[in-house]
Amino acid sequence: MGIFSSLTREQREAAAILQTGTFLEYFDLMLYVHMGVILNELFFPKTDPHIASLISATTFCLTFVFRPLGALFFGYIGDTAGRKITVIITTIMMSLCCATMAMLPTYAQVGITASWLVIICRIVQGLSSMGEIVGAQIYLTELIKIPARYPVVTFIGCADCLGGMAALALATGVLALGIDWRAAFWVGALIAVIVTVARTALRETPDFVNAKLQLKKNLEKANIDNSLGLKKDYIVNENVNKKTSLSYFFIECGRPVWFFFTYIYCANILKNNFNYSSQQIIQHNLVLASIEFFAMLYYAYLSYKIHPLKIMKVRIMIFFIFVIFIPYLLINVTTAMQMFFIQIPVCIFQHTTVPADAVFFVNFPIFKRFRYTVFLYALSRALMYIIVSFGLVYLTNSFDHWGLLILFIPVIIAIKFGISHFEDLEVAAERYSQNYSLNSVANVV
């Protein structure tokens, strides 16, 4: 395949290690999300349906609420110690959480203590996931040149999606075969350890190493002590454009909304209106996740030939037209199959950062790139998952499914604003050509 033939052996190995690691990391992270229909009943007190839905939403949100703290911590490590050490630390944390989850007592055994222990594990998993996907994407962005950079970085997002699919598949098997759910978390812990060992073979990215060397030369040339010079050097203190930060935040706000709608909001409709069992919901979501995965692969392929922002513009226009009709379709849905066909366009055309992640990263200064992007990523998840988890409960109670538009339309408008800003930046940097080839962009950073 042309994409990989342009890469060196070191680049291919790094991409494989990071993609595999992201797959396994998100398998561990999403395992509880997709098995929540079972596990929430084991770790939380049984109550009426309304309170149960709020407990479920709270458990789901806690994975994301504390992410900004993890983003600040791992962002600092990533921009000072390096990209490699960050992805290793996060994998170790995830493996420890999975092992802990596998050993937790249930609510029937220890009461409310079980609930608190689950909450703590979910918080730590959320913190560790912050340095994972963004760290892997930045690593490959700095390692690989355009145009192969775009699809290879997008494959990290595909690995994320594939990890969720694997969690769904395992959850399906656990339910179908009557296997102890704890076995799934032991598997997650084991594979996280294996990935940690594999990642020790990575080397630091050339861009980060070169920037560090340039900083050292600047300090030596000015005869400034290393520890004091960091506060004065222009490379370290290069300003981050506020509009760029805001635009990136807006763009990142889309994924939480569409994910919650597709896999949780619609799942509740299937459960309440069509009497779907937990096993049927998980199987249903597995098919949807597979469709989403193959759509992402297609966008990755297109990004090798067409600038990613052009792909995003077309996709969001199609999606906006479909979104307007979603409330009407949900009100008139009469079968589970009709629900499925409503969810399919969301999986295919929903707005995410795919396949333009690498475009966004390079527009942040290198010594602030990790902390800014990972913090904005985390903040968008924390804020939007709270809004969508709790907000939709009250919006739809008041306005039925039409309440969805109160949330969906402002988010789409904000995303369009963000894309337009990054288009301007790419045009100014001469990276926004209609088509590109390896020869014409081989030296573009």
Q: Assess contact for 153 and 358: CB atoms under 8 A.
A: yes
Q: Is pLDDT at 392 greater than 70 in this prediction?
A: yes
d(CA 186, CA 178): 16
pLDDT tens-digit series, residues 224-247: 445 444 444 445 567 889 999 999
* Spatial CA neighbour of 164 closest among 48, 327, 55, 296: 296
Which helix (H) or strand (E) segment holds residue 396: the answer is helix 369-399
pLDDT tens-digit series, residues 184-204: 778 777 877 777 777 777 776
Tally Cβ neighbours within 10 Å of residue 109: 10
What's the CATH code, domain 2-204+238-441? 1.20.1250.20
Q: Assess contact for 25 and 97: CB atoms under 8 A.
A: no
Query: Which pLDDT belongs to residue 193?
Result: 78
Structure tokens at 329: 């379709």
Q: Can you give the length of the chain in residues?
A: 445
Q: Is 294 left (phi over 0), alpha (psi -120 to 50) or beta?
A: alpha
Residue 315 — pLDDT band, cuts 50, 70, 90? very high
**pLDDT exceeding 90 applies to what percent of the chain?**
32
pLDDT tens-digit series, residues 135-179: 889 888 988 988 899 999 999 989 888 888 888 787 777 767 777
Q: Is pLDDT at 379 greater than 80 in this prediction?
A: yes
pLDDT (mean) for 211-215: 60
d(CA 385, CA 120): 18
Question: What is the amino acid identity at position 114?
Answer: A
**Which of 50-64, 219-233, 293-307, 416-430 has the least mean pLDDT?**
219-233
Residue 322 — pLDDT band, cuts 50, 70, 90? very high
Q: Assess contact for 175 and 278: CB atoms under 8 A.
A: yes
Q: Is pLDDT at 183 greater than 50 in this prediction?
A: yes
Q: Is pLDDT at 84 greater than 80 in this prediction?
A: no
Question: What is the amino acid identity at position 169?
Answer: A
Q: Is pLDDT at 223 greater than 60 in this prediction?
A: no
Domain boundaries, the chain: 2-204+238-441
Angle between helices 112-143 and 49-65 (to 10 degrees): 40
Query: Which pLDDT belongs to residue 99?
Result: 83
Q: Is pLDDT at 338 greater than 80 in this prediction?
A: yes
pLDDT (mean) for 252-268: 91
Residue 318 — pLDDT band, cuts 50, 70, 90? very high
Instruction: Select the more confidently predicted residue: 216 or 245.
Output: 245
d(CA 119, CA 114): 9
Instruction: Select the more confidently predicted residue: 40 or 339.
Output: 339
Q: Assess contact for 84 and 203: CB atoms under 8 A.
A: yes
d(CA 250, CA 40): 32
Query: Which pLDDT belongs to residue 107?
Result: 81
pLDDT (mean) for 72-98: 78
